[in-house]
């Protein structure tokens, strides 16, 4: 357990350093944008007095390093400042939107993970067959298609022509769970089509790699059925890379939903990020980017820990 704790702490430290570097990039990207931020927000009709007062309100009259450390210190405590558009605390506006994004990501994960593992086991069991080739072609097609293209295709057929699910994924707190699931099915399906291929192909590759192992050959010689060999002997030893790719795709489901939320007008943090960029509401943009980065790093850390716990060889690399 001491080795595991040491590895986890090391990964956590590297994650914090990575997040620190990303925070510098986020702050610097906004800082080095061309033009005057106060002028861009207030418009061309603003007077010099108004511009000077607004710059002072934003802290633009102070040095950039001082403003960065102040912003970072407040962000650690959950204070991202106030929105330039609504003048409301950014943390309040992001909280509800981020909850919607997590709901959509969890919805898609509950569909994608079982399907991906089941298909991965199935195509490994019938590898090099027609079913294996068809499954690979279909998954490669879905993974190669942009999310917005898949979303519009689903809207065209499932919503417009067949009228099965609504094209606009607008939800609110007054809806029941079933109503929310119905409204968000199309964006969830779009994300499922994108991520299921990664997980299925990794599961297939891991199982096929282990099928040549001596203990698997021995099980076959004993007359154990092929499906039992995969489920009871191969799959448990293939969990390390499978868990890794599942955690990576969960990170993508949360951080890569921007296009999907825009296509389906879903009130998540991705839609909020796009709206804030168009309105030049930079405190919200910085907060959204930092939350995306922290979520991605945290889920990558979970993937590393999951791989270590399921593969003893990773605990003793020597």
Interatomic CA distance for residues 309 and 202, integer angstroms? 18
Q: What is the pLDDT of residue 313?
A: 62
- The domain in which residue 240 lies consists of 97-276
Q: 232-250, pLDDT tens digit by residue?
A: 777 777 777 777 777 778 8
Question: What is the percent of the chain with per-residue pLDDT over 70, rounded to a whole number?
Answer: 93
Q: Is residue 175 a part of any domain in this protein?
A: yes
- How many angstroms separate the first and last alpha carbons of the chain? 17
Q: Is residue 249 a part of any domain in this protein?
A: yes
List all residues 6 or more positions away from 94 whose beta carbon is below 8 Å from its beta carbon.
80, 269, 272, 284, 287, 288, 291
Number of domains observed in the structure of the chain: 1
Q: Is residue 163 a part of any domain in this protein?
A: yes
More confident residue, 303 or 18: 18
Q: 143-193, pLDDT tens digit by residue?
A: 888 888 888 999 999 988 898 898 888 888 788 889 899 999 999 999 988
Asked whether the predicted pLDDT for residue 21 surpasses 90, the reply is yes
pTM of the model: 0.83
Q: Is residue 258 a part of any domain in this protein?
A: yes
Q: Is residue 128 a part of any domain in this protein?
A: yes
Q: Is residue 261 a part of any domain in this protein?
A: yes
Report residue 258's pLDDT band, with 50, 70 and 90 as the boundaries: confident
CB 191 within 8 A of CB 142: no
Q: How far is CA 123 from CA 130, 140, 178, 281, in A?
A: 10, 14, 33, 48
CB 112 within 8 A of CB 192: yes
Q: Is residue 299 a part of any domain in this protein?
A: no
Interatomic CA distance for residues 175 and 267, integer angstroms? 14
Q: 282-296, pLDDT tens digit by residue?
A: 888 889 999 888 888
Q: Is residue 144 a part of any domain in this protein?
A: yes
What is the domain-level CATH number for residue 248?
Answer: 1.10.3720.10
């Amino acid at each position: 357990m001491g080795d595991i704790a040491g590895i986890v702490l090391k990964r956590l430290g590297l994650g914090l350093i990575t997040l620190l570097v990303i925070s510098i990039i986020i702050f610097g990207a906004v800082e080095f944008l061309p033009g005057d931020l106060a002028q861009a927000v207030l418009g061309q009709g603003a007077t010099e007095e108004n511009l000077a007062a607004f710059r002072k309100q934003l802290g633009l009259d102070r040095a950039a390093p001082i403003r960065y450390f102040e912003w970072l210190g407040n962000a650690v405590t959950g204070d991202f400042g106030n929105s330039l558009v609504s003048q409301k605390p950014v943390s309040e506006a992001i909280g509800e939107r981020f909850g919607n994004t997590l709901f959509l990501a969890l919805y898609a994960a509950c569909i994608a993970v079982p399907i991906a593992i089941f298909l991965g086991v199935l195509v490994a069991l019938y590898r090099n067959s027609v079913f294996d080739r068809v499954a690979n072609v279909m998954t490669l097609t879905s993974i190669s298609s942009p999310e917005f293209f898949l979303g519009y295709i689903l809207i065209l057929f499932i919503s417009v022509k067949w009228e099965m699910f609504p094209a606009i994924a607008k939800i609110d707190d007054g809806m029941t769970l079933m109503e929310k699931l119905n409204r968000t099915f199309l964006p969830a399906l779009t994300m499922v089509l994108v991520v299921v291929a990664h997980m299925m192909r990794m599961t297939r590759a891991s199982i096929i790699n282990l099928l040549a192992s001596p203990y698997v050959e021995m099980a076959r010689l004993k007359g154990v059925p092929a499906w039992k060999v995969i489920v009871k002997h191969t799959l448990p030893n293939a969990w390390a890379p499978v868990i890794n790719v599942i955690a990576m795709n969960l990170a993508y489901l949360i951080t890569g939903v921007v296009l999907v939320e825009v296509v389906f007008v879903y009130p998540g943090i991705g839609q909020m990020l796009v709206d804030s960029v168009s309105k030049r509401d930079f405190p919200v943009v910085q907060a959204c980017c930092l939350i995306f980065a922290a979520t991605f790093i945290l889920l990558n850390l979970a993937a590393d820990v999951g791989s270590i716990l399921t593969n003893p060889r990773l605990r003793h690399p020597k």
